[in-house]
């Protein structure tokens, strides 16, 4: 096994090749050196750059969508048009390439307005404006490239949807798919869903997130039409398809597609998986998913993200991290994100630093263990949400 670019967490399992993963040539070089049976491309950057296509052209077996299929995440304008073409339920929206055009359209949105950068923005390209004044200001600065650079020079203006969010991820082999357990992310930086959006501050997963009917509606009205729509346009999707959903009173609607696993969704998903994950991916990479199963453990899981001071703005870096072994002794699993090792010390090296995760026989127990483990970890300026999973717990007290 090998990883690129890697971090001190994965380094415990695999040698790391710290190259820029956005350049296909770098990945080809590492692949030639390590001769892997299977390459899994994780993040959106290399997928959108066409690294899957480049590695396949060199004869490597790769799991991940092609550059063409990755457009579902690369451009929110493209993916909205795709959903509309195929009748996939989603919020009403307008694509705008000029500030004047966007400002004119505002009158069509009563109440809150969702403003989305067209391009990749690491979870920070969506602003929910409370009124026209805030929307005007956001549109002008986003389209001037001040908020998320060139990713924001074209935007989508979107109707605000009310409801609970669910992250629904499926493994696709180009034809068939299998569903991973649904999770709920917490996008805003502060408790109570306040403050700016982040890449995700924590997740939980349990069987209460979706009813059987909801799940079947999602598969019938969203998953199948998405894969069929892609196929009808000559695009095969082989990889993880992440569907960000809002469960509205009118049924599930798509907020976004990602063409990869989610962070921090995956931490919660993996803690519920009993086995079969690797073999399902290998089967999907061969276009042969039909007999694969991924059994789940009963119970629940949760992940609490520990972020650096300043995040989701410019994060403070190079603070010493302590307490991970103590957290893991309790039975939690601490996944690394923005960490690095220097002179024998583990240091912060990014906005989201660690994902402290735990499983339990109930959601309450999974959350208790995750938060007990969080209490053991420390670095200067550490911020985390204290209300991960509260909506899930409320569901039990209300029913
Ligand atoms: P996206 O990257 O499109 O998933 O948007 C990031 C986050 O913004 C979502 O996870 C939601 O919390 C929020 N969001 C996006 N679109 C909408 C919408 N139409 N209505 C309400 N919230 C939204
Ligand atoms: N947590 C949301 C994402 O991975 O895009």
For residue range 92-122, what is the model confidence (pLDDT) as tens digits? 999 999 999 999 999 998 889 999 999 999 8
Q: pLDDT by residue (tens digit) across 236-257? A: 999 999 999 999 999 999 999 9
Predicted confidence at residue 398, as pLDDT, reads 74
The CA-atom distances, in angstroms, between 137 and each of 99, 144, 173, 188 are 10, 11, 43, 20
Ligand 2 is surrounded, with C-beta below 6 A, by 123, 185, 199-200, 258, 262-263, 265
What confidence tier does 187 reach under pLDDT thresholds 50, 70, 90?
very high
pLDDT of amino acid 111: 87
Rounded distance from Cα 255 to ligand 1 centre (Å)? 6
Pocket lining: 157 vs ligand 1, CB cutoff 6 Å: no
Phi-psi region of 209 (alpha: psi -120 to 50; beta: other; left: phi over 0): alpha
What's the length of the chain? 399
Q: Which of these, 313, 320, 391, lies nearest to 351 by C-alpha position? A: 313
Residue whose C-alpha is closest to residue 31's, from 66, 68, 70, 57:
57
Q: Is the pLDDT of residue 386 over 90?
A: yes
- Three-state SS at 163: coil
Residue of 181, 239, 179 lying closest to 41 (CA atoms): 239
The whole-number pLDDT of residue 397 equals 80
301-316 core/surface letters (b: 16 or more CB in 10 A; e: else): bbbbbbbbbebbeebb
- The residue that leads in pLDDT, 296 or 399, is 296
Nearest to 82 by CA among 97, 71, 67: 71
Q: Whose CA is nearest to atom 3 of ligand 1?
A: 256
- pLDDT tens sequence across 315-324: 999 999 999 9
The answer to whether 80 touches 213, Cβ cutoff 8 Å, is no
CA of 45 to the centre of ligand 1 (A): 20
Q: Which atom of ligand 1 is nearest to the CA of 93?
A: 19
pLDDT tens by residue, 196-233: 999 999 999 999 999 999 999 999 999 999 999 999 99
Closest ligand to residue 262's CA: 2
Ligand 1 contact via 40 beta carbon (within 6 Å): no
- Residue 378 pLDDT: 98
Calculate what percentage of the chain has a pLDDT beyond 70: 100
Mean pLDDT of the chain: 96
pLDDT higher than 80, residue 90: yes
**Across the chain, where does the E strand assignment appear?**
39-40, 62-63, 93-96, 113-117, 126-129, 155-159, 164-173, 177-179, 184-185, 188-190, 194-197, 202-205, 238-248, 251-258, 300-307, 333-336, 339-342, 345-348, 352-360
Q: What is the pLDDT of residue 263?
A: 97
Determine the distance separating the centroid of ligand 2 and the alpha carbon of 219, expressed in angstroms: 20
Confidence at 396, pLDDT banded by 50, 70, 90: confident
Query: Measured in angstroms, how far is the CA atom of residue 261 from the centroid of ligand 2?
Result: 8
Asked whether residue 66 carries a pLDDT value surpassing 70, the answer given is yes
Could you give the count of Cα atoms lying within 13 Å of 199 in the half-sphere of its Cβ? 27
Higher pLDDT, 397 or 143: 143
**C-alpha torsion sign, points 182, 390, 126, 319:** negative
CB-ligand 1 contact for 91 (6 Å cutoff): yes
pLDDT tens, position by position, 257-286:
999 999 999 999 999 999 999 999 999 999
Burial readout 250-263 (b: 16 or more C-beta within 10 A, e: otherwise): eebbbbbbbbbbbb
Cis-peptide, bond into residue 312, ω within 30° of zero: yes
CA of 169 to the centre of ligand 1 (A): 16
* pLDDT at residue 271, rounded to an integer: 98
Q: What is the pLDDT of residue 161?
A: 97
pLDDT on residue 399: 64
Cα of 242 to ligand 2 centre, how many Å? 9
Shortest-distance Cα residue to atom 5 of ligand 2: 262
Question: What is the three-class DSSP state of 333?
Answer: strand
Calculate Rg over the CA atoms of the chain.
21
Ligand 2 nearest atom to the CA of residue 264, by list position: 1
CA distance 163 to 372: 30
Q: Which atom of ligand 1 is nearest to the CA of 193?
A: 12
pLDDT number for residue 124: 81
pLDDT at 291: 83
Residue 362 in this model has a pLDDT that exceeds 80: yes
User: Does the pLDDT value for residue 25 go beyond 70?
Assistant: yes
Percent of all residues in the chain with a pLDDT value above 90, rounded to a whole number:
96
CA of 126 to the centre of ligand 2 (A): 12
Distances (CA, A) of 350 to 81, 189, 319, 322, 385: 34, 15, 10, 16, 17
Mean pLDDT of 174-185: 96
Name the token pair of 145. Answer: 């490239």
Tell me the best of 180, 246, 264, 352 to mutate to test the pocket of ligand 2, counting ligand atoms within 8 Å of each CB and taking the most: 264
Confirm or reject: Cβ of 321 under 6 Å from ligand 1.
no
Find, among 7, 52, 73, the residue nearest to 335 by Cα. Answer: 7
The pTM of the full predicted model, rounded to 2 decimals, is 0.96
Angle formed by the axes of helices 390-398 and 363-374, nearest 10°: 150
């Amino acid at each position: 096994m090998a990883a690129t670019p890697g971090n001190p967490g994965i380094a415990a399992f695999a040698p790391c090749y710290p190259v820029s993963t956005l350049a296909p040539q770098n990945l080809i070089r590492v692949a030639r050196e390590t001769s892997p049976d299977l390459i899994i491309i994780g993040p959106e950057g290399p997928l959108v750059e066409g690294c899957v296509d480049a590695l396949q052209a060199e004869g490597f077996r790769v799991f991940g969508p092609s550059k063409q299929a990755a457009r579902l995440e690369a451009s929110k304008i493209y993916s909205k048009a795709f959903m509309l073409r195929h009748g996939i339920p989603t919020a009403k929206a307008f694509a705008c390439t000029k500030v004047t055009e966007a400002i004119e359209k505002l009158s069509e949105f009563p109440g809150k307005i969702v403003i989305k950068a067209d391009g990749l923005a690491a979870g920070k390209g969506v602003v929910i404006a409370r009124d026209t004044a805030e929307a005007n200001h956001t549109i002008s600065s986003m389209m001037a490239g001040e908020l998320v650079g060139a990713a924001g020079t074209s935007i989508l203006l979107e109707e605000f949807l009310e409801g609970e969010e669910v992250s629904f991820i499926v493994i696709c082999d180009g034809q068939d798919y299998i569903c991973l357990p649904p999770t709920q992310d917490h996008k805003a930086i502060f408790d109570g869903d306040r403050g700016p959006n982040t890449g995700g501050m924590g997740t939980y997963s349990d069987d209460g997130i979706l009813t059987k009917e909801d799940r079947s509606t999602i598969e019938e009205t969203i998953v199948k039409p998405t894969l069929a729509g892609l196929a009808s346009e000559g695009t095969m999707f082989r990889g993880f398809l992440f569907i960000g959903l809002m469960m509205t009173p009118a049924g599930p609607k798509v907020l976004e597609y990602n063409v990869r696993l989610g962070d921090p969704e995956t931490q919660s998903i993996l803690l519920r998986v009993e086995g079969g994950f690797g073999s399902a991916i290998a089967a999907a990479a061969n276009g042969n998913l039909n007999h694969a199963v991924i059994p789940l453990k009963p119970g629940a899981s949760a992940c609490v993200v520990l972020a650096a001071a300043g995040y989701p703005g410019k994060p403070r870096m190079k603070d010493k991290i302590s307490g991970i072994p103590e957290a893991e002794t309790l039975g939690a699993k601490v996944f690394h994100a923005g960490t690095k090792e220097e002179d024998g010390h583990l240091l912060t090296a990014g906005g989201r630093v660690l994902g402290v995760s735990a499983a339990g026989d109930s959601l309450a127990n999974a959350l208790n263990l995750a938060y007990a483990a969080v209490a053991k970890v420390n670095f200067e300026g550490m911020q985390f949400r204290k209300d991960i999973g509260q909506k899930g717990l409320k569901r039990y007290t209300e029913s």
